[in-house]
Amino acid sequence: MHKLILCPRDPTDIPCDTIAMVANLAAIGLIRGDMHITDQSFEVGDNFPRLISFLGCFPVISSDASGNGQVTANLHRVSLSTVSDRIGFIVSDKQQAPRCPSCRQAVTAWEEAIDRWWADPAATDWTCSACEAQASLYILDWRQTAGFASVYLAIYPIHPAEAVPGERLLAELGKYTQSAWQYYYL
Ligand SMILES: [Zn+2]
């Protein structure tokens, strides 16, 4: 199932309090805090279509009789995942070669770099063969088809580029890491 993934841009930034973060997601209406499917998976809240911008029409929202746009038949779900023992490389089956954040050239030896990192989680150093810029694997431009995360939210089903998180949602999530969040698609 296709998913929109939201996670801290720097995967070493871990939310200080995930319980408070989930409570806040319920307070702003992304999820229904009183409607757990499981402990870590939630039905979406009434404000979901305002916090997530669908680029086409949103297929399963209907207005109630008062016309205030209540979500009545929404099949979307939000889950919170924690990668347990080390930072995870979360990758789409449509993953493309990443780009150098400095010169934008496609990174050719990225699979070798990932293999080194799997063998040694501290081996995040990377040097661009085109412009010699040095960067962390974590901040390569993975073209929204992959990324690294310790903790992430998944919203599904959402096809790649079907919807984007609004600035307000990214800002609310950023309060719990004091840093920026990013998104990509599986
Ligand atoms: Zn470069």
What pLDDT was estimated at residue 92? Answer: 87
Check residue 58 and give its pLDDT.
Answer: 64
Residue 24 C-alpha to ligand 1 middle, in angstroms?
39
Give the distance (Å) from ligand 1 centre to CA of residue 119: 24
Where the chain has pLDDT below 50, the residues are 62-67, 69-73
Distance from Cα 106 to the centre of ligand 1, integer Å = 8
In DSSP notation, the chain reads ---EEEEESSTT---S-HHHHHHHHHHTTSEEEEEEEETTEEEE-TTHHHHEEESS--TT----TT-S----S---EEEEEE--SS-EEEE-TT----B-TTT-PBPSSHHHHHHHHHH-TT--EEE-TTT--EEEGGGSB-TTSEEEESEEEEEES--TTTEEE-HHHHHHHHTTTTS-EEEEE-
pLDDT at res. 161:
85
Ligand 1 centroid distance, CA of 115 (Å): 20
**How far is the centre of ligand 1, averaged over its atoms, from the C-alpha of 149 (Å)?**
23
Q: For residue 141, report the distance from its CA to the centre of ligand 1, in Å.
A: 11
Which pTM was predicted?
0.86
Q: What is the pLDDT of residue 64?
A: 46
Say what the pLDDT of residue 83 is.
Answer: 81
State the pLDDT at residue 40. Answer: 80
pLDDT of residue 39: 63
State in Å: Cα 110 to ligand 1 middle.
Answer: 13
